[in-house]
Structure 1
Amino acid sequence: MLTWFSVLALLFQAPSTPPQPATEAVVRLAPETVIVVELFTSQGCPLCPAANELLADFGAREDVIALAWGVNYWDAYGWADQFAMPEFADRQKAYVQAGEAMRVYTPHFVINGAPEQLRFDTERVTRALEDSAPVPAARISETQDGAYSLSLEGERTTPAEIWLVAYTPGVEERQIESGRNAGLRMTHFNMVRSVEKLADWTGGDAAYQLPGLSDDLDAVVLVQDGPGGRILTAARLP
């Protein structure tokens, strides 16, 4: 169990690299706490267009980190989802295995990693967001050469997973030519394009350098209490 957790703006240096002066680290201003809202969605799912728009509404809040994961469960109905990747479905399956749901489904909202069976209803999902307890916002440090790093400090009895999630920021539209949503110009928001597990954090002082990204993608760091577990802390990269 996490008994004390904080995120410090520290610059990661390999043991062979002399430490740089602290004045070279520029820390991004961010909310003190955040709420992570994940949506598992599909271009072939009839209810998903409304869920995508609801996620965009949530994402307009400064304290909300909104992420949409494309999954391929509806591909058998005549349209292959353009964003789906196997690792995105694996993430949803981890939530299902840890929580109340009997199987994967869409649209599926997950708030702060809590694996409750939160079936789609605008009022129900909105109420769950309003009732959720925010998590501490991670602070990312930046060096003069544009690199970013994350340091963690605290005690753990089980490993926590550190994920880097890259996504296309904002709203984009795609024309759906066939399947259950044939003829619809579908709105998407913050569609995830890749996910990378950086490390398992087992507690104590630890620092992690964050990989670079392409210029057209944004990214967030999620620190999670094991597979399908709760989000412990999170932050957007500048």
Structure 2
Amino acid sequence: MRTFPARIHVSAMKLTILLLVLIIPFHIQAAERPAGVVELFTSQGCSSCPPADALLAELAERDDVVALAYHVDYWDYLGWKDEMATPENSARQRAYGETFDRSVYTPQVVVNGQRDIVGSHRKEIYAAIDKGSEGNAALPVDVDISSSNGSVFVNVGAAETAPADTHIVVVYYKPRRVVSIRGGENRGRSIEYRNIVTSFQTVGMWHGKAMRLELPKSEMVKKGGHCAVLLQSFDAEGRPGAILGAARTAESW
């Protein structure tokens, strides 16, 4: 661990069926709640990170987990620049550091926005995820992503209570990349990275009622075609907190 229409004649029934087919969105992601969201903060320049990267790749294969890798830039000075790293990823990790009142480090995993774990500690990470898979309502709110024609729809369910400041966050990512590292602490290694976060943004607020957002599919495609949606609470200072719901696209658009 390192710190820091055509005109046709049809019956009324056939016309009704046709209209329903046209307006019902094609679902990419089922509405089943995932057991957990695993956010890994990692760097190609960190010698402690490859085991955590391998663990995230394993988790990325699970249908019941939203696994995301945020590459950070603060280890670039060690002799190898991580070209997948962004200042925004580092800023998100620092915000989590403020939430947990501790220094940032790599590899760091945050599960459901509520607990940080060393990214290579398999048993602890799986135990945190399994709390959700055992029906303990780790993610209490339904979130669903669907697509129709030129739009992407985000559906968020209702809840009896909701935190005052809950964001709908879209996280764009690339599903897979293999990198041959030619410098720094991991020099000579070839590492496969999964679900590499390229950018993220808040697209709306949730106040406890069921809602639907429509987003342009063209913007999604430009940013890689894969995304996850996180329903996440934030405090008055803008620090991230518990993730209440999540979904991810099962394929690119």
Shorter-chain TM-score bucket reads 0.7 to 0.9
In 2, the alpha carbon distance for the partners of 1:70 and 1:211 equals 26
Q: CA deviation at 1:33?
A: 1.4
Q: CA deviation at 1:137?
A: 4.1
Alignment partner of 1:97 is 2:105: no
Q: CA deviation at 1:122?
A: 2.5
For residues 140 and 117 of structure 1, do their structure 2 counterparts lie closer, same or farther at Cα, with a shift above 3 Å needed?
closer
Q: 1:225 maps to which residue?
A: 233
TM alignment of 1:139-150, pairs within 5 A = 139-143=144-148, 145-150=149-154
For residues 37 and 178 of structure 1, do their structure 2 counterparts lie closer, same or farther at Cα, with a shift above 3 Å needed?
same
For residues 30 and 204 of structure 1, do their structure 2 counterparts lie closer, same or farther at Cα, with a shift above 3 Å needed?
closer
Q: 1:186 maps to which residue?
A: 191
- Per-residue CA deviation, residues 92-119 of structure 1 (Å, 9 max, x unaligned), is 112111115x2110001111111x3412
Does the 8 A contact of 1:25 with 1:141 survive in 2? no
For residues 214 and 26 of structure 1, do their structure 2 counterparts lie closer, same or farther at Cα, with a shift above 3 Å needed?
closer
Q: 1:159 maps to which residue?
A: 165
TM alignment of 1:1-238, pairs within 5 A = 24-26=23-25, 28=27, 30=30, 32-34=32-34, 35-100=36-101, 102-114=102-114, 116-120=115-119, 121-132=121-132, 133=136, 134-135=138-139, 136-143=141-148, 145-152=149-156, 153-154=158-159, 155-169=161-175, 171-204=176-209, 206-212=211-217, 213-214=220-221, 216-226=224-234, 227-237=239-249
Amino acid at match of 2:249: L
- Aligned identity (percent) is 34
For residues 126 and 203 of structure 1, do their structure 2 counterparts lie closer, same or farther at Cα, with a shift above 3 Å needed?
closer
In 1, the alpha carbon distance for the partners of 2:131 and 2:226 equals 27
With 37-46 and 220-229 compared, the bigger mean Cα shift is at 220-229
- Per-residue CA deviation, residues 47-78 of structure 1 (Å, 9 max, x unaligned), is 11111110111111111111100001211211
Q: 2:15 maps to which residue?
A: none
Alignment: residue pair count: 214
Amino acid at match of 1:180: E
- The alignment's C-alpha RMSD in Å is 2.2
- Per-residue CA deviation, residues 119-158 of structure 1 (Å, 9 max, x unaligned), is 2322332333223444244123433x24122244445351
In 1, the alpha carbon distance for the partners of 2:221 and 2:242 equals 28
In 2, the alpha carbon distance for the partners of 1:31 and 1:87 equals 29
Amino acid at match of 1:221: V
In 2, the alpha carbon distance for the partners of 1:98 and 1:125 equals 19
Q: 1:16 maps to which residue?
A: none
- Per-residue CA deviation, residues 186-211 of structure 1 (Å, 9 max, x unaligned), is 22111011111112334445432224
For residues 72 and 224 of structure 1, do their structure 2 counterparts lie closer, same or farther at Cα, with a shift above 3 Å needed?
same
For residues 22 and 204 of structure 1, do their structure 2 counterparts lie closer, same or farther at Cα, with a shift above 3 Å needed?
farther
Does the 8 A contact of 2:172 with 2:200 survive in 1? yes
Amino acid at match of 1:231: I
Greater C-alpha Rg:
2
Does the 8 A contact of 1:42 with 1:106 survive in 2? yes
Amino acid at match of 1:235: A
TM-score, normalising length: structure 1: 0.81
Secondary structure of residue in 2 paired with 1:51: helix
